[in-house]
Structure 1
């Protein structure tokens, strides 16, 4: 019986993805690691990003299986094939306690540091570039 060599993309190669390149959220899938491995996967809500040497998976607005993930390969199944990760629970400034009610969060956001009147803050916000981020945060707050 003749043994066939697997195609080049199915050969199990060792690599390390140090996430040394910064990628904006939504632009990570399809990029290559510094070792040449292609980052495959799915990012339905365009939230996977890389910064400060870490892969960032932001919370989904609509959590479900198959909506966010990263993959490498394909790899043929062999004895001793392993995959290892170092996983952290987020930025050091991540909120770990129970999130306050939406009305309290909106009130706090509206008055801000209390250096300007809320109407002035709202007017300044309408001319800022962060509206899409704030809308996303607002939707996330409503869901939580």
Structure 2
């Protein structure tokens, strides 16, 4: 799904790596992700539909992605593309600090996202929330395991504000 075909405004939440930091809110529209204020989100909280992630690639470039739910389907926004996520079209491989996420698209195309988790993330984590070491891949893995349950969790996200 191309970005030009998706012009709805969606609010996404970035959860800080430590549990004591402030949540940050972003607005996704078209091909842009912009930071926004909580007041703006509060006014349109029914449009808070997902999460914002930053991560490092294997070449140590910082990338961003948004994962949200739209019409009971998970959508991943990555590199100006909207990608439908289902348990059947995603595969995650990992080795030490490296993860490789392969997403199969129609017409035999595949998008590969290579994630590197810096060692300091492991050192800063006390083990209480292991998914906070690399939240992007942990969220995708949990969606693979409990797809329908995760849809309900994402749908209730706005009610928690």
Relative to its length, the structure with more strand (as a share) is: 2
Query: TM-score over 0.5 for the alignment?
Result: no
Alignment TM-score, normalising by the size of structure 1:
0.28
TM-score by length of 2: 0.26
Q: Return the index of the structure with the highest Cα Rg.
A: 1
